[in-house]
Amino acid sequence: MKKIIFSFLCLTIIFSGNSLAATTPTPTVSNALLEKVANEIASRTAQLNLVEKRGILGTVTDSSGTQITLSDTKGNTRFVDVDELTKFSSASSKSFGISDVEKGDYLGVLGLYNKQSRRILARDISVESSFPSVIYGAIAQIDKENFEITVVKQNKQRVVIGVEDITKTYAFSKDGLVKSGFSKTVVGETIIAIGFPDKQDPNKILATRMLLFPNVQTNISIEIEPSANPTTPPSTGSGVKLYQVTK
């Protein structure tokens, strides 16, 4: 008898459960909602494809509370957006912020670059030292007393290069890149000098690196004054060479 009652209760529970499941409406998702979600996902994916992490260096040309305008190393104008997540750093100040940015400052910016708007949302902004200058040309004069080299560029501009103790000089030859020095520089030689402007003389570059190319012919567009070129005095035919008398 007990077995019969137990079996009856079990059947009652099973059929009651099926009845409840049958009477409870199944929730449905409308096509409009599905389409909205799909559009949001597609839009978010498109935004992610438009954004990439990027770093830039530039000189400040303008600054406001939420935007910094930079001129990068190629002369292009870059717009940098600043928000509450942007971090600032400076070696000279622990409390450096957007209000301390001034025109002419050299900044390094890391952030999220938007390919469509061509703006970068800054996540880290740091004050950097001045950008190095790269001088390419031919050696026109060598001042051994003051350790200076005058270089003539392709546009005929003459730049004085100061050689310091920290200057590392290399020569590129058939054997590859080898160490060289100021004493091995030659007038008329092709040179690439990398350095920073002298604070006391803005027309002089203090070199940190110099690359000499003794076997590379000077660009024909670079003109060196005749007085700067070493020439062999003419011979009289008797073994005596004539030298020009200078006062």
Which residue ranges make up each domain of the chain? Answer: 49-127, 133-226
Nearest CA-CA partner of 151 in 198, 204, 202: 204
- Specify the pairing of strand 133-143 against strand 148-153: antiparallel
Q: What is the pTM of this model?
A: 0.45
**Does the fold of domain 133-226 match that of domain 49-127?**
yes
Which residues, in sequence order, are bridge partners of residue 151? 139, 159
The predicted pLDDT at position 236 comes to: 42
Selecting from 3.40.50.300, 1.10.10.10, 2.40.50.140, 3.10.560.10, what CATH number does the domain 49-127 have?
2.40.50.140
Query: What span, in angstroms and rounded, lies between the C-alpha atoms of 182 and 87?
Result: 43
Residues 6+ apart with CB under 8 A from 203: 159, 160
Residues 6+ apart with CB under 8 A from 212: 169, 170, 171, 172, 180, 184, 185, 189, 190, 191
Nearest CA-CA partner of 214 in 182, 240, 186, 181: 186
Place of tokens 């870059």: 78
Residues 6+ apart with CB under 8 A from 185: 139, 142, 149, 169, 191, 212
> Tens digit of pLDDT for each residue in 63-91?
988 999 999 877 889 999 999 999 998 87
Selecting from 2.40.50.320, 2.30.42.10, 1.10.150.120, 3.40.50.300, what CATH number does the domain 133-226 have?
2.40.50.320
Q: Is the pLDDT of residue 5 over 60?
A: no
Contact 182, 139 (CB under 8 A): no
> Tens digit of pLDDT for each residue in 28-66?
556 666 666 666 665 665 555 678 888 888 899 999 889
93, two tokens: 């100040």
